[in-house]
Structure 1
């Protein structure tokens, strides 16, 4: 798990807390703020997922600095 994934999950949790408090208190603005935070957190987590997937992908010869042969 990388930093972006952790930050994304943390943002989603903060959003869920704000959404829940907003619902409990009838504060629509806080509820919406929580929804927006959750969406931002999900986006950030997915960006981290992509980074993790790229990191786990084996390097191709052209990416590793090995020159490819011309035919």
Structure 2
């Protein structure tokens, strides 16, 4: 079965990572992986979520104060 484009990309990425690891000790590899923390959610979506939650809270407080 022929590889799909996505499989080729992932295989190339894997080979590149393995080449970068070659000749390095485990402590160097672990240090490098700990330094590169990436958030599971992008800052854009985090901002949208914060706006929805805190914006709704602010509007609710304002409506209770001014429109009893």
- TM score, norm. by length of structure 1: 0.37
* Largest Rg, 1 or 2: 2
